[in-house]
Structure 1
Amino acid sequence: MGTAVAAPVRLSVRRGDESVVEDLEWPSVPLGLLREARPWRTFRWYKGQQHYSGTYWSATVGDHVIYESRLELGRLLFADFDPAVRHIVAQPFLLKADVGRKVRKHIPDYLLVTDDGPVIVDVKPRHRLKKPEVAFTFAWTREAVASRGWRYEVWSEPDPHVLENVRFLAGYRRAWLFDPDLVAALRAADLDGMSLGDAFRLLPAEWPRPLVQSAMLHLLWSGHVTTALDRPLSAAHVLRRTA
């Protein structure tokens, strides 16, 4: 079956007040409307369910964002950690298109508003990507998204070390928990090329070491410094300044 998408591509959006706007034409839908969209689906927890749903407090959004699986939570963590991502919307709309003489419908998992433009994301385990129905849906969705000049991404399991490091650093994402004077002092220090362990020992006379350690990990989360995340984080990791 072909995946040629016949115009017009349409979508429906759930507004912040829970009202639904139906059959908007995809090329002209304002990004501002999608930024404020509420998740298209609601989910329930029930005994015996096969997936893990929940809400995650996003530092990027300053509010909770939903996910419907642990894999979706992983993508959400990566988006929150990425300094190029400015906003995150879960299940931003219901997309409808005429494909193969039938009306097809699909709800993408996330809309990311980034410095490089909007990105529509679908999350799916790698072993399911070759299923014909999944491949077909993602193919016509990619074509529809690209018709507006936006990026489309299918995201599967990441490097497990990177995921665990990002998950660990997410514990330090809430900026208001850190003394601004301590954070400013660390930002002013020459951290480039320093090991993480040495950075933990900075400013010993002024601040208790646990506070310095947590503030340093916050700087890693916020992107002021970076380090290799493809192996378990340790005191030997070398820091690189980004700003």
Structure 2
Amino acid sequence: MSSDGVGCVWSHSCELDDLVAPYVLPCGDAIDPRPDWAGHWAVTWRVDGTEVVCPVRDLALFPWERARPVRWFSWRSGQRHRPGLAFMEATGRGHGFESLAERRALTVLDFCGQVREVLSQPFSLRFFDSGRRREHVPDFLVATAGPTLLIDVRPAHLVKESDVAVFAATGRVAASAGWRYLVVTGWRDGVAGSVEALACARRPGTNRLGLEEQLLAAAVGPRRFGELVEATRWPVLARSHLLRLLWERRLAFDLIGPLGDGTCIYPVAS
């Protein structure tokens, strides 16, 4: 299968950067020009039910895998945001989110792979912006096979002018700890919907009827989703197995555009 199609995002080889909408992170050096800013800025963690404060200059040394969300995820009638717990196959458990946009970010992270640990609402950052004290709680801290990733999720239409300084300060803090910082304002067209469709079949199941082997054998060259499931002995049951194979990246398709019976499915070279 060719993977150099113009504008294509192949599901079997994509990474997070291929899926997220671009956002130019503002420079944070001018927020607090003091040479010892990292000693004045601080983060508050929650460990074993106790708040632990450390200066930003020591952030890289903190064993954050022991920490828990710095604030609780609450539900009440009349609230405008939608909190909950999102299951991630990478960790085998649920992780808190405070909006549907955050839940979607966790799903995409799970699909991209290389995730080892996730901490929602990881810490509270206290920083100074033009001499004024401000606070911010990032959305996720993610341990990956590569650099540690700090994430804020804010749909583009909700980003306010006051958020720019917050993102700049958080990016500065992440860089000082050797982490990567990412602001997720949206996704490339069609990507998030396709990934969420695959996520419906991500929990491992049984393959007693051998449908996965039938699907893999029938996927010779590009074949449409509907044709591929019809090539098996039990097409209705084969649909969930095909979604599972796509989630596991054992078969592939172009994530740009909706996933349906007309979507071309490709074999993946071993």
TM-score bracket for this pair, using the shorter chain length: 0.7 to 0.9
Mapped contact 1:3–1:99 kept (Cα < 8 A): yes
Deviates more, 1:148-157 or 1:103-112: 103-112
When residues 200 and 188 of structure 1 are mapped into structure 2, their CA distance, relative to the original with a 3 A threshold, is: closer
When residues 200 and 150 of structure 1 are mapped into structure 2, their CA distance, relative to the original with a 3 A threshold, is: same
Partner of 2:246: 220
Mapped contact 2:218–2:228 kept (Cα < 8 A): no
Partner of 1:65: 95
Deviations along 1:181-204, one digit per CA (max 9) or x if unpaired, are 737625863736332234323442
| 18, 32, 37: which one aligns with 1:4 | 32
When residues 65 and 202 of structure 1 are mapped into structure 2, their CA distance, relative to the original with a 3 A threshold, is: same
Mapped contact 2:215–2:232 kept (Cα < 8 A): no
Provide the C-alpha distance between the structure 1 equivalents of 2:157 and 2:76, rounded to a whole number of angstroms. Answer: 26
Provide the C-alpha distance between the structure 1 equivalents of 2:167 and 2:246, rounded to a whole number of angstroms. Answer: 34
4+ residue segments displaced more than 4 Å: none
Provide the C-alpha distance between the structure 1 equivalents of 2:103 and 2:66, rounded to a whole number of angstroms. Answer: 20
Deviation at 1:212, TM superposition (A): 2.1
2:165 partner SS:
helix
Q: Which amino acid is 1:235 matched to?
A: D
Provide the C-alpha distance between the structure 1 equivalents of 2:53 and 2:72, rounded to a whole number of angstroms. Answer: 18
Deviations along 1:68-111, one digit per CA (max 9) or x if unpaired, are 11111121111111123333221122223445445432211011
Deviation at 1:120, TM superposition (A): 0.4
Partner of 1:19: 50
Provide the C-alpha distance between the structure 1 equivalents of 2:136 and 2:209, rounded to a whole number of angstroms. Answer: 48
Partner of 2:62: 29
Q: Choose between structure 1 and 2 for higher RCO, CA contacts under 8 A separated by at least 6 residues.
A: 2
Q: After the TM superposition, which residues 84-99 of structure 1 pair with which residues of structure 2 at under 5 Å, given as runs?
A: 84-99=114-129
Q: Does 1:136 align with 2:169?
A: no
Q: Does 1:47 align with 2:80?
A: no
Q: Does 1:118 align with 2:144?
A: no
1:112 partner SS:
strand
When residues 192 and 136 of structure 1 are mapped into structure 2, their CA distance, relative to the original with a 3 A threshold, is: farther
Deviates more, 1:55-64 or 1:101-110: 101-110
Q: After the TM superposition, which residues 130-209 of structure 1 pair with which residues of structure 2 at under 5 Å, given as runs?
A: 131-159=160-188, 161-175=190-204, 177-179=205-207, 182=210, 185=213, 189=217, 191=219, 193-195=221-223, 196-204=225-233, 208-209=234-235
Mapped contact 1:53–1:69 kept (Cα < 8 A): yes
Provide the C-alpha distance between the structure 1 equivalents of 2:237 and 2:194, rounded to a whole number of angstroms. Answer: 20
Deviation at 1:136, TM superposition (A): 0.7
| TM-score, scaled to structure 2 | 0.76
2:54 partner SS:
strand
Provide the C-alpha distance between the structure 2 equivalents of 1:35 and 1:171, rounded to a whole number of angstroms. Answer: 28
Provide the C-alpha distance between the structure 1 equivalents of 2:215 and 2:118, rounded to a whole number of angstroms. Answer: 27
| TM-score, scaled to structure 1 | 0.83
Q: Which amino acid is 2:262 matched to?
A: A
Provide the C-alpha distance between the structure 1 equivalents of 2:65 and 2:219, rounded to a whole number of angstroms. Answer: 36
Mapped contact 2:212–2:242 kept (Cα < 8 A): no
